[in-house]
């Protein structure tokens, strides 16, 4: 059942376009993430759902009701902020009960609900504490409980884990997902952390410069990026410049070495970008029918994996990952090696005009 | 203060790394002497006039008779009470006006802040005499002949005092607002269903309590001692009463000054007490 619908949303701040033609439908109970770099419009879109910003054009509806012009306090939305935004003058229990108190619920009902949520957040004895007496992770749990206490129709989370340290971030991330499933609440989660978006979401909306680049399940976003931006932003990618030898059979040439792509490519002789995930490439011939030769340029030890960068020729480099195996000797810099990968994992990208800049950047990073 | 000398004597004994510490010690103890000297000068500066005033008030025989005369004078209690009531009304009006304004400026109109700050500083630039003559000229005739009646003059007096207290109240509130994340707290309250009124009363006011109190007590201190505006509006306030007393009696004005000074101190003490209590309450509540 379609529950949250954003149709043709535009937002301008003076001459600046913050969000352009944003369309999204989310099912009831779905977990959708907005992923993108800062300034891509993800938070602005979230704030429009919350009612803190008014769209310049477009409509937002929840459960079949148009709420575009409703003030935020009449939308029945739960919101969790990056800065926690707990009321410093109230203790934990009063913070959680605030929304119910505003709705004039009976006192014993508020107390029962607060106790229930405190238990759920593993903070059963912290009701009398004040926000400043809690750790960041605990404060964010209280903020989540406070948002859930009013039984909102939609839960909005604006980079809720950004201010926390890595371990707590991962633990709390799992908890957020578990609680969201338990409540079956439609959730929109804003983040610039791709790992968070991919691990949490039913669907990910990748945004750049106010526009949606791609909407899809995490695996689709990762495996089949629709635009060069998505390819470069999500995961690590090697991007190589190639020429199309024969588009219909997806025959491509990378600096004179021939490979095949997964799908038919654009016209013959055109320049395209080939994207490869480090995990899709193997040293030697075992990786698939596409083979390239090059010189080892760098070997990075990343713990469980070893990432090797190979220069194919002039501008083109690609990276590949191997599981760290102490019995195997790593490649040495300057060594000539062959790598292989399957045509299925060879993504051929044909993007907008600005894609070149993105590719340049990504090449510089890999 | 004398502890510095033997420490200097130890300096040559130690190796280089240790020598550094004793060298810095005499400097620190010199710093301490300096600190005490400044403190002593400050104490003398503030205490001498008070001691002098007290000594002067004691010249009337028998001892404390000046104080007895003052406290027995029904005018003293009446004017002081009048001024306190006016001060409290002024404080309430300025809180109601300034807290929502400062909140709104910070939340929605941050570009207006420099202008608002400039306006709030105007009472420092425009003398009260100008203010009161402006009020008298504007409100002596139609359409609002407020200056003609006692109640109308009371209203004008409060209005003038609200203007006088603007710099103190606005600054105190604005500083308090800077210490809290106004935008997130407001949005969090809104998303939980709170109206603007609820946000102000349940979230903004409680978090500004100490700031509002400090602004309020400054206002109290100014209003209770104010002379010019009260005189020209012909209100029975405490300031004109002290002046009247000073013109007719010798020792009593000194006694009145000290009493009003003491009352101001009590007000400040009250502020400190309430401020500390609110912090203690939080800590005690958090301890169990």
What value of ipTM does the predicted structure carry? Answer: 0.80
Copy the structure tokens of residue B212: 């509002």
Average pLDDT, whole number, for chain A? 88
pLDDT tens per residue, range A18-54: 999 999 999 999 999 999 998 899 999 999 999 999 9
Is the pLDDT at B281 greater than 50? The verdict is: no
Give CA–CA dist A347/B91, Å, rounded.
70
Is the pLDDT at A269 greater than 60? The verdict is: yes
Between A161 and A358, name the one with better pLDDT.
A161
- Kindly identify which residue of chain B lies nearest to residue A53, measuring between CA atoms: B187
- Residues in chain B closer than 8 A to A70 (CB atoms): none
Reference A264, options A252, A256, A276, A254; nearest CA is A252
Average pLDDT, stretch B139-160?
87
Q: Residue B187 and residue A79: Cβ atoms within 8 Å?
A: yes
A211-216 sheet: strands from edge to edge:
A77-80, A154-158, A186-191, A31-35, A203-208, A211-216
Is the pLDDT at A355 greater than 90? The verdict is: no
Percent of the residues in chain A that have a pLDDT greater than 70, as a whole number: 95
Cβ(A200)–Cβ(A31) under 8 Å? yes
Percent of the residues in chain A that have a pLDDT greater than 90, as a whole number: 54
Give CA–CA dist A71/A75, Å, rounded.
7
Q: Residue B192 and residue A91: Cβ atoms within 8 Å?
A: no
Bond preceding residue A311 cis, omega within 30 of 0:
no
Smallest CA–CA separation between B182 and chain A, in Å?
9
Q: How high is the pLDDT of residue A22? A: 94
Selected for mutation to probe chain B from A82, A83, A87, A128 (highest B CB count within 10 Å) is A87
The answer to whether A103 faces chain B, any CB pair under 8 Å, is: yes
Which residue in the block uniquely carries the two structure tokens 């505003």?
Answer: A102
Copy the structure tokens of residue A302: 């990343």
Q: How many Cβ atoms from other residues are within 10 Å of residue A94's Cβ?
A: 18
Copy the structure tokens of residue B70: 């003052």
pLDDT tens per residue, range A282-337: 888 877 889 999 999 999 888 888 889 999 887 888 999 888 887 777 788 888 99
pLDDT band at B19 (very low <50, low <70, confident <90, very high): very low
Q: How high is the pLDDT of residue B26? A: 57
Q: How high is the pLDDT of residue A348? A: 82
Smallest CA–CA separation between B112 and chain A, in Å?
18
H helix intervals, chain B? 4-10, 16-57, 65-72, 74-107, 113-125, 128-139, 150-178, 182-191, 196-198, 205-207, 209-225, 228-232, 238-248, 252-287
Q: Where are the beta strands (DSSP E) in chain A?
A: 2-13, 16-27, 31-35, 57-62, 65-66, 77-80, 154-158, 186-191, 203-208, 211-216, 238-246, 251-254, 257-260, 271-276, 282-283, 290-301, 305-311, 317-323, 336-341, 347-349
pLDDT tens per residue, range B37-92: 999 999 999 999 999 999 988 888 787 888 888 888 898 889 988 998 999 899 99
- Specify the pTM: 0.77
Between B56 and B272, name the one with better pLDDT.
B56
Copy the structure tokens of residue A339: 């790598």
- Backbone dihedral angles phi then psi of residue B274, each to the nearest 5 degrees: -65, -40
Reference A38, options A189, A191, A187; nearest CA is A191
Is the pLDDT at A179 greater than 80? The verdict is: yes
Cβ(A312)–Cβ(A333) under 8 Å? no
pLDDT band at B278 (very low <50, low <70, confident <90, very high): low
Is the pLDDT at A357 greater than 80? The verdict is: no
Q: Residue B193 and residue A76: Cβ atoms within 8 Å?
A: yes
Give CA–CA dist A307/A26, Å, rounded.
38
Which residue in the block uniquely carries the two structure tokens 């062959």?
Answer: A338
Give CA–CA dist A156/A173, Å, rounded.
14
Q: How high is the pLDDT of residue A353? A: 35
Query: DSSP string covering A108-139, please?
Result: HHHHHHHHHHHHHTT-TT-TT--GGGS-HHHH
Query: DSSP string covering B29-72, please?
Result: HHHHHHHHHHHHHHHHHHHHHHHHHHHHHTTSTTTTHHHHHHHH
Average pLDDT, stretch B205-221?
87
A301 exposure class (CB count in 10 Å sphere: 0-12, 13-18, 19+): exposed
Q: Residue A103 and residue B206: Cβ atoms within 8 Å?
A: no
- Residues in chain B closer than 8 A to A91 (CB atoms): 285-286
Average pLDDT, stretch B262-280?
70
Give CA–CA dist B36/B17, Å, rounded.
30
Q: How high is the pLDDT of residue B99? A: 93
Interface of B with A (CB under 8 A): 180-181, 184-185, 187-195, 198, 202-203, 206-207, 209, 282, 285-286, 288
H helix intervals, A124-277? 136-149, 166-183, 194-200, 218-223, 228-233
Q: Find the distance separating the first CA and the last CA of chain A, reported in whole Å.
A: 42
Q: How high is the pLDDT of residue A350? A: 67
Q: How many Cβ atoms from other residues are within 10 Å of residue A102's Cβ?
A: 18
For A102, the closest of B187, B193, B209 (CB atoms) is B193
Selected for mutation to probe chain B from A88, A128, A132, A152 (highest B CB count within 10 Å) is A88
pLDDT band at B7 (very low <50, low <70, confident <90, very high): very low
Instruction: Report the length, in residues, of chain B.
Output: 288
For A85, the closest of B188, B202, B207 (CB atoms) is B188
- A57 φψ region: left (φ > 0), alpha (ψ -120 to 50), beta (else): beta
Is the pLDDT at B230 greater than 80? The verdict is: yes
Average pLDDT, stretch B85-103?
93
Q: Residue B184 and residue A85: Cβ atoms within 8 Å?
A: yes
In angstroms, the Cα distances linking B46 to A345, B39, B43, B145, B221 are 83, 11, 5, 44, 17
Q: How high is the pLDDT of residue B277? A: 61
Is the pLDDT at B14 greater than 60? The verdict is: no
Q: Residue A87 and residue B286: Cβ atoms within 8 Å?
A: no
Cβ(A193)–Cβ(A2) under 8 Å? no
pLDDT tens per residue, range A212-266: 999 999 999 988 888 888 888 888 888 888 888 888 888 888 888 888 887 777 7
In angstroms, the Cα distances linking B50 to A39, A85, A122, B46 are 62, 48, 60, 7
């Amino acid at each position: 059942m379609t529950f949250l619908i954003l149709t043709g949303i535009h937002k301008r701040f003076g001459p600046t376009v913050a969000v352009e033609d944003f369309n999204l439908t989310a099912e009831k109970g779905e977990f959708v993430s907005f992923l993108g770099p800062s300034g891509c419009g993800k938070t602005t879109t979230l704030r429009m759902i919350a009612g803190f910003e008014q769209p310049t054009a477009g409509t937002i509806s929840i459960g079949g009701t148009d709420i575009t012009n409703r003030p935020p306090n009449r939308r029945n939305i739960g919101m969790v902020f990056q800065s926690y935004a707990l009321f410093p003058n109230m203790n934990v229990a009063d913070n959680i009960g605030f929304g119910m108190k505003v709705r004039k619920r009976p006192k014993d009902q508020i107390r029962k609900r607060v106790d229930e949520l405190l238990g759920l957040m593993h903070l059963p004895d912290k009701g009398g504490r004040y926000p400043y007496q809690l750790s960041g992770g605990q404060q964010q749990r209280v903020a989540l409980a406070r948002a859930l206490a009013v039984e909102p129709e939609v839960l909005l989370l604006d980079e809720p884990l950004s201010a926390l340290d890595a371990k707590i971030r991962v633990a709390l991330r799992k908890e957020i997902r578990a609680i969201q499933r338990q409540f079956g609440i439609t959730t929109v989660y804003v983040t610039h952390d791709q790992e968070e978006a991919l691990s949490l979401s039913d669907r990910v909306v990748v945004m750049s410069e106010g526009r949606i680049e791609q909407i899809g399940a995490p695996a689709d976003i990762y495996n089949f990026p629709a635009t060069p931006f998505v390819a470069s932003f999500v995961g690590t990618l090697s991007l190589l410049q190639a020429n199309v030898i024969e588009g219909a059979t997806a025959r491509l040439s990378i600096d004179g070495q021939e490979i095949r792509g997964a799908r038919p490519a654009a016209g013959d002789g055109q320049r395209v970008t080939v994207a490869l995930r480090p995990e899709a490439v193997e040293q030697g011939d075992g990786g698939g029918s596409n083979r390239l030769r090059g010189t080892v340029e760098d070997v990075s030890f990343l713990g469980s994996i070893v990432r090797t960068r190979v220069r194919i020729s002039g501008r083109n480099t690609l990276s590949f990952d191997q599981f760290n195996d102490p019995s195997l000797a790593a490649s040495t810099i300057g060594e000539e090696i062959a790598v292989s990968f399957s045509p299925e994992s060879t993504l051929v990208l044909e993007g907008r005009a600005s894609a070149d800049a993105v590719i340049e950047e990504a090449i510089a990073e890999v | 203060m004398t502890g510095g000398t033997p420490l200097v004597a130890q300096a040559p004994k130690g190796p280089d790394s240790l020598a550094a510490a004793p060298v810095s010690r005499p400097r620190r103890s010199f710093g301490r002497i300096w600190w005490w000297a400044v403190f002593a000068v400050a104490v003398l500066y503030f205490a001498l006039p008070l001691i002098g005033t007290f000594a002067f008030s004691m010249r009337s025989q028998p001892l404390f008779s000046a104080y007895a005369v003052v406290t027995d004078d029904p005018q003293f209690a009446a004017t002081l009470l009048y001024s306190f009531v006016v001060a409290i009304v002024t404080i309430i009006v300025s809180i109601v006006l300034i807290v929502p304004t400062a909140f709104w400026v910070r939340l929605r109109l941050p570009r207006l802040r420099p202008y608002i700050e400039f306006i709030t500083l105007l009472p420092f630039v425009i003398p009260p005499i100008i203010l009161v003559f402006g009020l008298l000229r504007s409100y002596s005739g139609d359409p609002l002949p407020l200056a003609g009646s006692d109640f109308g003059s009371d209203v004008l007096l409060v209005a003038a005092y609200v203007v006088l207290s603007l710099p103190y109240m606005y600054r105190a509130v604005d500083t308090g607002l800077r210490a809290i994340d106004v935008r997130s707290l407001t949005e969090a309250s809104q998303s939980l269903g709170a109206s603007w009124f609820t946000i102000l009363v349940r979230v903004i006011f409680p978090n500004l309590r100490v700031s509002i109190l400090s602004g309020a007590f400054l206002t109290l201190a100014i209003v209770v001692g104010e002379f010019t505006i009260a005189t020209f509006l012909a209100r029975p306030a405490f300031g004109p009463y002290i002046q009247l007393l000073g013109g007719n009696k010798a020792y009593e004005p000194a006694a009145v000054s000290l009493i009003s000074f003491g009352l101001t101190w009590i007000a400040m003490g009250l502020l400190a007490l309430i401020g500390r209590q609110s912090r203690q309450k939080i800590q005690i509540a958090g301890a169990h």
